[in-house]
């Protein structure tokens, strides 16, 4: 097999809007390879929703998600500087831990809470990606409001046009 030719063809086939900065999260994080299908499906569906319903409206490219583990205290993170093709890392075990805490304290439904937890966490990180792309300072209240607004009403809160 001609590997050079093969890789060349592969490169040519990458659509322009699928370009992500040359960043590999395994440089900074421990990668998680053991994930249950149900949780994976929730994350992939959310990313798909972000890529089809949110990012095109803001004029940003497609987002990518990577699964990390053993990251103390982090549910998910937007990787600085990757916008307009935002890269997110997510720690499923930490999210599940937070969901379990919540169900202990408030007696909420685990499965439902996992969906809400994953979605709002990713929408929150998306808010940071938008702040980065718009050259805004990171603002936790702004991203939290953006995330809740989309989760509750399915609408994009254009905080960058309100300033
Ligand atoms: Zn934040």
Ligand 1: centre distance to CA 143 (Å): 7
Q: What spacing in Å lies between the alpha carbon of 10 and ligand 1's midpoint? A: 36
CA of 36 to the centre of ligand 1 (A): 26
| pLDDT score, position 11 | 36
What is the SS3 assignment for the chain? CCHHHHHHHHHHHCCHHHCCCCCCHHHCCEECCCCCHHHHHHHHHHHHHHHHHHHHHHCCCCCEEEEEECCCCCCEEECCCCCCCCEEEECHHHHHHHHHHHHHHHCCCHHHHHHHHHHHHHHHHHHHHHHHHCCCCCCHHHHHHHHHHHHHHCCCCCHHHCC
Domain that holds residue 129: 3-161
pLDDT of residue 20: 52
Q: How confident is the prediction along the chain (163 residues), in pLDDT tens digits per residue?
A: 333 333 333 333 333 444 455 778 888 888 988 888 999 999 999 999 999 999 999 999 999 999 999 888 789 999 999 999 999 999 999 999 988 888 787 778 888 999 999 999 999 999 999 999 999 999 999 999 999 999 999 999 999 997 5
Say how many domains are in the chain: 1
pLDDT for position 21 = 57
Residues in the chain: 163
* CA 88 – CA 80 distance, rounded (Å): 9
Residue 146 Cα to ligand 1 middle (Å): 11
Q: What CATH code is carried by the domain that includes residue 61?
A: 3.40.390
Ligand 1 centroid to 83 CA: how many Å? 15
Rounded to the nearest whole angstrom, what is the distance from the C-alpha of residue 121 to the centroid of ligand 1? 9
pTM of the model: 0.83
């Amino acid at each position: 097999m001609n590997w050079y030719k093969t890789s060349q063809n592969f490169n040519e086939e990458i659509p322009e809007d699928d370009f992500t900065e040359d960043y590999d999260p395994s440089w900074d994080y421990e990668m998680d390879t053991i994930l249950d299908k149900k949780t994976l499906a929730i994350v992939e569906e959310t990313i798909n929703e972000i890529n089809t319903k949110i990012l095109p409206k803001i004029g940003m490219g497609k987002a990518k998600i990577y699964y990390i583990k053993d990251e103390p205290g982090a549910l998910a993170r937007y990787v600085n500087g990757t916008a307009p093709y935002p890269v997110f890392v997510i720690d499923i075990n930490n999210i599940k831990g937070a969901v379990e805490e919540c169900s202990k304290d408030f007696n909420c439904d685990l499965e439902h809470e996992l969906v809400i937890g994953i979605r709002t966490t990713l929408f929150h990180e998306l808010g940071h990606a938008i702040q980065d792309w718009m050259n805004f300072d990171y603002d936790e209240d702004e991203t939290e409001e953006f995330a809740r607004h989309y989760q509750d009403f399915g609408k994009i809160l254009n905080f960058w046009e309100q300033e």
